[in-house]
Amino acid sequence: MKIGWNLKSGTSWSMTSWKSYDDPSTGDYTFGMSRIGSQELVIKKGSQKIWQSGAWNGQSWNGVPGFKPNSIVTFNVVKNQDEMYSIYSFSNTSILSMIVLDYLGVAQRKTWVQSKGEWNTPKYYPDDNCDNYGKCGAFGSCHTNYDPICMCLPGFEVTSPSESNVLEGSQTCVRKREHMCGKGDGFIKLESIKLPDTTNSRIYMGLDMKECEIECRNYCSCTGYASAYVNEKVAWLGSET
């Protein structure tokens, strides 16, 4: 099935969980695609987002290993004036596969193993603590192998500074100094991380990374930029502070 949107009617193609393990009535969780931003897959509990895939880059969703193409499975996003949706297919048409959203809000990609006569679940989302949406708060980064797992990004520190700069309890990340827009402040390159939520971002078409940086610098509220879907670049325009 399609996971996405009919842009003409405004209809959402999404999955809804069961109420409980043995109650098939409508549950609390949905699995669908964000209509605003860069074609992200999302899991919500009611209106609260609990998981996001990261931006679609033309081949995969950034930061999600199970949603990357390989010799067996191919993922794709179709986007035109009528509809926007995600699909996946297998090079071997004899493979049986399905995506299930369970009553706990976990999306599982299952594949039938004929020799065992059972469904195998190679991937599920969220798959660890760092996969939960907003786990470390604004300007925090999550590292599965750390304890505690949350740290502040470069240029930020915890509300009660410490040498390790890790987040504990109710601490949050704040700027080390006042934002000096246009007076020497710049950007630091971050790699191997999932892109932030693109719902409140601005999408630029046909720009290269340098042009996107220049555009981002035109706004004091721009906190970062990245490459997203094919020829799209995304910039995050937050508050002026």
| Cα-based angle 146, 129, 99 (whole degrees, multiple of 5) | 140
Q: How confident is the model at residue 186 (pLDDT cuts 50, 70, 90)?
A: confident
Percentage of the residues of the chain whose pLDDT score is greater than 70: 85
Specify whether 11 is located in the same domain as 64.
yes
**169, burial (CB in 10 Å: exposed 0-12, middle 13-18, buried 19+):** exposed
Percent of the chain at pLDDT above 90?
Answer: 24
pLDDT score recorded for residue 228: 67
Instruction: Answer whether 180's CB lies under 8 Å from 186's CB.
Output: no
Bridge partners, residue 98, by sequence? 110
Phi-psi region of 192 (alpha: psi -120 to 50; beta: other; left: phi over 0): left
Average of per-residue pLDDT values in the chain: 82
Higher local confidence (pLDDT), 49 or 228 = 49
Given this model, what pLDDT does residue 193 score? 77
Q: Which of 127, 144, 177 is the last residue of a domain?
A: 127
Query: Which of 127, 147, 174 is the last residue in one of the domains?
Result: 127
* Chain Cα centroid distance, residue 236: 14
Mean pLDDT of 199-214: 82
Query: Would residue 193 count as lying in a domain?
Result: no
Tens digit of each residue's pLDDT (9 = 90 or more) over 157-166: 887 655 555 6
Is the same domain home to 113 and 215? no
Question: What total of structural domains would you count in the chain?
Answer: 3
Quick one: 63 and 117 in the same domain?
Answer: yes
176 with 229, same domain: the answer is no
Do 9 and 94 fall within a single domain?
Answer: yes
Residue in this structure with the two tokens 């020829």, named with its chain if needed: 231
Q: Which residue has the higher pLDDT, 204 or 24?
A: 24
Say yes or no: 161 and 237 in one domain: no
* Same domain (yes/no): 176, 240: no
Residue 109 and residue 144 share a domain: no
Query: How, if at all, do strands 73-79 and 222-227 pair?
Result: unpaired
Considering the domain boundaries, does residue 192 fall inside one? no
Q: 11 and 122: one domain? A: yes
* pLDDT tens-digit map of 19-78: 999 999 999 999 999 887 677 899 999 999 999 887 777 767 665 555 555 667 778 888
- Together in a domain, 10 and 122: yes
Region of poorest pLDDT, from 91-95, 143-147, 161-165, 205-209: 161-165
How far is the C-alpha of 135 from the C-alpha of 133, rounded, in Å? 5
Phi, psi of 66 (to 5 degrees): -75, -15
Question: Per the domain annotation, does 195 fall within a domain?
Answer: no
Q: Are 174 and 157 in contact (CB under 8 A)?
A: yes
pLDDT on residue 66 = 53
pTM over 0.85, yes/no = no
Q: What is the DSSP letter of 61?
A: B
CB 77 within 8 A of CB 39: yes
CA dihedral 130, 132, 136, 142 (to 10 degrees): 10
- Checking if the pLDDT of 87 tops 50, the result is yes
- For residue 166, give the CATH number of its domain: 2.10.25
Mean pLDDT confidence for 182-195 = 78
Q: Is residue 151 part of a domain?
A: yes
Residue 163 falls within a domain, yes or no?
Answer: yes
What is the C-alpha to C-alpha distance for residues 176 and 235, in angstroms, rounded to an integer? 22
Residue where a domain terminates, one of 146, 162, 185: 185
CA distance 118 to 80: 38
Residue 23 is assigned to a structural domain of this protein: yes
Please give the pLDDT value at position 240: 41
How much is the pLDDT for 241? 35
What's at 119, amino acid-wise?
Answer: W
Residue 191 lies inside a defined structural domain of this protein: no
In Å, what is the CA distance from 209 to each residue of 18, 198, 216, 225, 235? Answer: 43, 17, 10, 8, 11
One domain for residues 16 and 113: yes
Answer for the pair 84, 5: CB distance below 8 angstroms, yes or no. yes
The pLDDT confidence band at residue 156, using thresholds 50, 70 and 90, is confident
Q: Where would I find the H helices in the chain?
A: 209-217
Residue 190 within any structural domain of the chain: no
Give the domain extent around 171: 134-185
Residues 173 and 218 both lie in one domain: no
